């Protein structure tokens, strides 16, 4: 099939590349000329493992094009995919300015019947607005489809090629066959429903996953007070198939461009129809508090923050991405420097993006985790990159001024800590100290 993808960000680029791999002719469009220039050279403007190889392969096999000429791309396509951003407005509602603008441009460019498929995350009822906007700009016939995206950054390609399910919202039954044909190369698990339900499935799914994270974080906070270990609790809970083991990793809370934005948008969607989504409001509140746990643990271990030196490991909101949108690191590093701490940061990929958004004379940019630790009073791990799991903790103790490791993602094992000589603070696990020795863990399936 011939596809135009409007918006070549995390979603548009990955979708475009994966549709091209499945033998569709894809034209990816973006108004950012510098992105298009890079992409034409098979250079990705985002860090996503494996993406550049696939762009190159698709370009060579002439299934994929990049352009900033939206009109030409729309005219040469049968299906137009909207994948532009829907960021938060100050009140939490989704900002629909970009999607409405894109819809208007698509309408004005149309030269015949098109299917317009929305992949951006949009509040319930938005596809009806998109229909109105397109209709105002064209006299040609068209159909609207809601096809929300569920990929995760860092594993976006495999999530797209092997999704758990694909959701398609339509109001014209005649579209079912084309939509199934387009998507069945990825999975047979395709659920076709009405447009409003498809739009709601996206928000409900993200809100549910965010709820699981805030739930386990609250359990972690209680575990600390009652002497249980949240990592063991999560394993035991996850063995129940009704609960499932994913998204039960306690830590400093969720970040990223989606959970924070989409939970707030759903609260607003509910509020607009006079429904107070109390549970989701608490999920957001718990998440906001959770990142400050890092600061309280530093205070607990060092007394005061003014004048201390802190090594920070990890800036991106999760591993395997350069994305720092709503990353806990932003608030944590900013609080540290405001309190007068000197911060030595390291991230394998996201340092440039972080520096563009937040820079300060008290921040030192380090090229290795060891450099960030050297001479620091404590190290705080904020992102669970594999790089940090591989650091020799015995060496860490020898380069730190005080042997304190605060692990915001619970990545280290009891064994590693026992051998490390470090004073170890984590999220929802008993305080451990390699100096005093540990009693051996009894946890494990029989």
Catalytic machinery residues: 258
**Which lies closer to ligand NAI via its Cβ, residue 107 or residue 253?**
107
CB 248 within 8 A of CB 216: yes
442 burial via Cβ count (<10 Å: 0-12, 13-18, 19+): exposed
Under DSSP, is residue 206 helix (H, G, I), strand (E, B) or coil? helix
Residue 318 interacts with, from ligand NAI, ligand UGA, none (CB under 5-8 Å by kind): ligand UGA
Q: Which is nearer to ligand NAI, 70 or 324 (CB)?
A: 70
8 A C-beta contact, residue 202 and residue 195: no
* Residue nearer to ligand UGA on the CB measure, 317 or 412: 317
Query: In the numeric block, which tokens belong to residue 5?
Result: 């993808």
120 binds ligand NAI per the rule CB under 6 A: yes
Q: Does residue 10 interact with ligand NAI by CB under 6 A?
A: yes
Which H or E run includes 342? strand 342-346
Residue pair 348/273 in contact (Cβ under 8 Å)? The answer is no
Q: Is 149 in the site for ligand NAI (CB under 6 A)?
A: yes
With binding defined as CB under 6 A, does residue 316 bind ligand NAI? no
Q: How far is the CB of 251 from ligand NAI (least distance, A)?
A: 19
Helix (H, G, I), strand (E, B), or coil: what is residue 362? Answer: coil
Instruction: Output 254 or 342, the one with its CB closest to ligand UGA.
Output: 254
> What are 445's two structure tokens?
């399936």
d(CA 94, CA 87): 6
247 binds, among ligand UGA, ligand NAI, none (CB under 5 to 8 A by kind): ligand UGA
Torsions phi, psi for 11 (to 5 deg): -80, -50
Closest contact distance (angstroms) between CB of 443 and ligand UGA is 18
Read out DSSP for 256-308?
Answer: SSSHHHHHHHHHHHHHHTT---HHHHHHHHHHHHHTTHHHHHHHHHHS--TT-
Q: State in angstroms the smallest separation of the CB of 147 from ligand UGA.
A: 12
Does position 95 bind ligand NAI by CB under 6 A?
Answer: no
426 binding partner (options ligand UGA, ligand NAI, none; Cβ < 5 to 8 Å by kind): none
Q: Quick one: which of 5, 7, 201, 230 contacts ligand NAI (CB under 6 A)?
A: 7
Residues that bind ligand UGA (CB under 6 A): 121, 149-153, 206, 209, 213, 247-249, 251, 254-256, 258-259, 317-318
Q: 336-342: long-range contacts at Cβ-Cβ below 8 A with a sequence spacing of 24 or more?
A: 336/295, 336/298, 336/305, 336/310, 336/312, 336/362, 337/362, 337/363, 339/295, 339/305, 339/306, 340/305, 340/306, 340/307, 341/305, 341/306, 341/307, 341/308, 341/309, 341/310, 342/307, 342/308, 342/309, 342/310
**195 versus 286: smaller Cβ distance to ligand UGA:** 286
One residue of 44, 67, 86, 127 binding ligand NAI per CB under 6 A: 86
Q: How far is the CB of 6 from ligand NAI (least distance, A)?
A: 5
Sequence-ordered list of residues with C-beta below 8 angstroms from that of 206, at least 6 positions apart, any chain: 121, 258, 259, 262, 263, 266
CB of 409 to ligand UGA, least distance (A): 7
Among residues 180 and 209, whose Cβ is nearest to ligand UGA? 209
The reply on whether position 83 binds ligand NAI by CB under 6 A is yes
Phi/psi region, residue 44 (left: phi>0; alpha: psi -120 to 50; beta: rest), is: beta
* Minimum CB distance to ligand UGA, residue 168 (Å): 16
If you search the block for the tokens 């998440």, which residue do you land on? 287
Residue of 3, 11, 109, 404 interacting with ligand NAI (CB under 6 A): 11
Distances, alpha carbon 161 to alpha carbons 17, 156, 158, 421, in Å: 10, 9, 5, 44
Residue 205 neighbours by CB distance under 10 Å: 15
- Minimal distance in Å, beta carbon 252 to ligand UGA? 7
Figure out which of the listed residues 17, 79, 84, 116 binds ligand NAI, where binding follows CB under 6 A: 84
Per partner kind, with CB cut-offs from 5 to 8 A, the member of ligand NAI, ligand UGA, none near residue 362 is: none
Give the DSSP per-residue string, 63-96. -EEEES-HHHHHHT-SEEEE-----B-TTS-B--
Which CB atom, from 47 or from 317, has the smaller least distance to ligand UGA?
317
Toward ligand UGA, which CB reaches closer, 59 or 216? 216
44 binds ligand NAI (CB under 6 A): no
Q: Does 384 participate in binding ligand NAI (rule CB under 6 A)?
A: no
Q: Which of residues 230-269 bind ligand NAI (CB under 6 A)?
A: 257-258
Beta carbon of residue 223, minimum distance to ligand UGA (angstroms, whole number) = 15
Task: List interacting residues with ligand NAI (CB under 6 A).
Answer: 6-12, 29-32, 35, 70, 83-86, 98, 101-102, 105, 120-121, 149, 151, 153, 257-258
């Amino acid at each position: 099939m011939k596809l135009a993808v409007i918006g070549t960000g995390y979603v548009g680029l990955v979708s475009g590349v994966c549709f091209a791999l499945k033998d569709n002719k894809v034209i990816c469009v973006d108004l950012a000329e510098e992105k298009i220039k890079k992409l034409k050279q098979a250079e990705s403007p985002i860090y996503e493992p494996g993406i550049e190889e696939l762009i190159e392969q698709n370009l060579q096999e002439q299934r994929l094009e990049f352009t900033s000429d939206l009109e030409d791309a729309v005219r040469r396509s049968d299906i137009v995919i909207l994948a532009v951003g829907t960021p938060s407005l100050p009140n939490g509602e989704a900002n629909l300015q970009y999607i409405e603008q894109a819809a208007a441009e698509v309408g004005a460019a149309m030269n015949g019947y098109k299917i317009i498929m929305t992949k951006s995350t949009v509040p319930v009822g938005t596809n009806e607005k998109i229909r109105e906007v397109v209709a105002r700009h064209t006299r040609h016939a068209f159909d609207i489809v809601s096809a929300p995206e569920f990929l995760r950054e860092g594993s976006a390609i495999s999530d797209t090629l092997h999704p758990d399910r694909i959701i398609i919202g339509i109001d014209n039954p005649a579209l079912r066959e084309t939509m199934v044909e387009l998507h069945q190369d990825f999975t047979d698990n395709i659920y076709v429903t009405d447009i409003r339900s498809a739009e709601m499935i996206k928000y409900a799914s993200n809100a549910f996953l965010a709820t699981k994270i805030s739930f386990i974080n609250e359990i972690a906070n209680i575990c600390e007070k009652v002497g249980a270990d949240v990592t063991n609790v999560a394993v035991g809970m996850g063995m129940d198939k009704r609960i499932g083991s994913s998204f039960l990793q306690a830590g400093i809370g969720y970040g990223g461009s989606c959970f924070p934005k989409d939970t707030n948008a759903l609260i607003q969607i509910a509020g607009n129809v006079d429904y107070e989504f109390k549970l989701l409001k608490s999920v957001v509140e718990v998440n906001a508090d959770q990142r400050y746990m890092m600061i309280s643990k530093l205070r607990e271990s060092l007394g005061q923050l003014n004048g201390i030196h802190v090594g920070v490991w990890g800036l991106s909101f999760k591993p395997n991405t350069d994305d720092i949108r709503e990353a806990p690191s932003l608030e944590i590093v900013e609080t540290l420097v405001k309190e007068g701490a000197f911060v030595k940061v390291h991230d394998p990929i996201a340092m440039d993006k972080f520096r563009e958004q937040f820079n300060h004379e008290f921040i030192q940019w380090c090229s290795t985790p060891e450099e960030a630790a050297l001479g620091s009073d404590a190290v705080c791990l904020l992102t669970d990159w594999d790089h940090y799991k591989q650091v020799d903790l015995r060496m860490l103790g020898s380069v730190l001024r005080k042997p304190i490791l605060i692990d915001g993602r619970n990545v280290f094992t009891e064994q590693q800590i026992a051998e490390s000589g470090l004073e170890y603070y984590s999220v929802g696990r008993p305080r451990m100290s390699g100096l005093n020795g540990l009693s051996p863990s009894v946890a494990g399936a029989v």
